[in-house]
Amino acid sequence: MRRPIVAGNWKMNGTQSEAAALIEGIRSGLADVKNAEVVVCPPFTLISLVAAALDGSGISYGAQNLNVYDAGAYTGEVSGPMLRDLGCTYVIVGHSERRALYGESDDVVAEKFRAAQQHGLVPILCVGETLEQRVDNDTETVIARQLDAVVDTVGIEAFGQAVIAYEPVWAIGTGMTATPEQAQAVHQFIRDKLAALDGAIADGLRLQYGGSVKGANAQGLFGQPDIDGGLIGGASLHAEEFLNVCRAG
Ligand code: 13P
């Protein structure tokens, strides 16, 4: 059985006092989250504070990005060893905002996946198509290309220690969530594709859905056979809404 995993991607949001209040709110409602593993991914500046605030809660935390290099003259960047030093368990790689706004290619994403695992971090690999690609019937081609780049770099075995988030770009921050059936179809495609390489790894791999998930639609999505939780943006910034999503896990 795959344990559902619900992760909050805070993106570039939060002051120290806002983060402290958000964690306090999440902790206070955690007792009735029965099933899902809960994760928060704050901006780098808040990781230490969040780590301390989560102590003893059972909630895991991670980062939203990392550099492929361990250290050196890379102004403004943060590395895998630094995140590990902060006690991070997870790191998001290949989020569509990084692909689109910061030019991260499939190959760079694959190298980030590798760098994460080299330092004991579990990558949450984001894949997903744009609206134009969906309309052109290219969804599976795009997802396959994004996955192949990583499989070719690290091998299928590496997916034994990873999470994949399917995030259709058109559903992110738009309120236009994929229907459970649309999401399930792509999740099944991902699992089947990886199962062709290694059935046991594909079967154990947790596949999150991301894109306008909130309390009201989480249950329908997470109830699908190949959807094992979600990667949550906007709704993860509100304790009660995030908890409602976690309860659906
Ligand atoms: P929203 O939940 O705000 O649509 O964002 C999804 C996302 O990008 C999570 O990584």
**pLDDT class for 1, splitting at 50, 70, 90?**
confident
What spacing in Å lies between the alpha carbon of 72 and ligand 1's midpoint?
A: 31
Q: Which of 148, 153, 185 is nearest to 166 (CA)?
A: 185
Q: Does the structure show a pLDDT above 90 at 238?
A: yes
d(C-alpha 20, C-alpha 14), whole Å: 9
At residue 50, the pLDDT reads: 98
At residue 234, the pLDDT reads: 98
For the domain 97-215, what is the CATH code? 3.20.20.70
Side chain identity at residue 116, one-letter code: A
Residue 30: exposure state from Cβ atoms within 10 A (0-12, 13-18, ≥19) = middle
The structure tokens listed for 215 are 């309390």
Please list the active-site residues: 95, 167
Kindly list the protein residues whose Cβ atom lies closer than 6 A to any atom of ligand 1: 9, 95, 167, 172-173, 210-213, 231-235
What spacing in Å lies between the alpha carbon of 217 and ligand 1's midpoint?
A: 14
Residue 96 CA: nearest ligand 1 atom is: 8
- What is the arithmetic mean of pLDDT over 41-65? 98
Query: For residues 116 and 89, is the Cβ–Cβ distance under 8 A?
Result: no
Residue 236 CA: nearest ligand 1 atom is: 2
- What is the arithmetic mean of pLDDT over 50-65? 98
d(C-alpha 202, C-alpha 189), whole Å: 11
What spacing in Å lies between the alpha carbon of 125 and ligand 1's midpoint?
A: 14
Between 16-28 and 47-54, two packed helices, what is the crossing angle to 10 degrees?
Answer: 30
Q: Does the structure show a pLDDT above 90 at 90?
A: yes
At residue 150, the pLDDT reads: 98
Global pTM exceeds 0.95: yes
d(C-alpha 160, C-alpha 20), whole Å: 33
Rounded to the nearest integer, the mean pLDDT of the chain is 98
**pLDDT class for 80, splitting at 50, 70, 90?**
very high
SS3 per-residue string spanning the chain: CCCCEEEEECCCCCCHHHHHHHHHHHHHCHHHCCCCEEEEECCHHHHHHHHHHHCCCCCEEEECCCECCCCCCCCCCCEHHHHHHCCCCEEEECCHHHHHHCCCCHHHHHHHHHHHHHCCCEEEEEECCCHHHHHCCCHHHHHHHHHHHHHHHHCHHHHHHCEEEECCHHHCCCCCCCCHHHHHHHHHHHHHHHHCCCHHHHHHCEEEEECCCCHHHHHHHHCCCCCCEEEECHHHHCHHHHHHHHHCC
196-223 pLDDT tens trace: 999 999 999 999 999 999 999 999 999 9
- Can you tell me which residue has the tokens 């991914």? 41
106-162 pLDDT tens trace: 999 999 999 999 999 999 999 999 999 999 999 999 999 999 999 999 999 999 999
Angle, CA 94 vertex, CA 125 and CA 38 arms, to 5°: 45
Instruction: Please report, rounded to a whole number, the percentage of residues in the chain having pLDDT higher than 90.
Output: 99
At residue 3, the pLDDT reads: 98
Of the residues 41, 167, 242, which should be mutated to test ligand 1's pocket, given the most ligand atoms within 8 Å of the CB? 167
173-196 pLDDT tens trace: 999 999 999 999 999 999 999 999
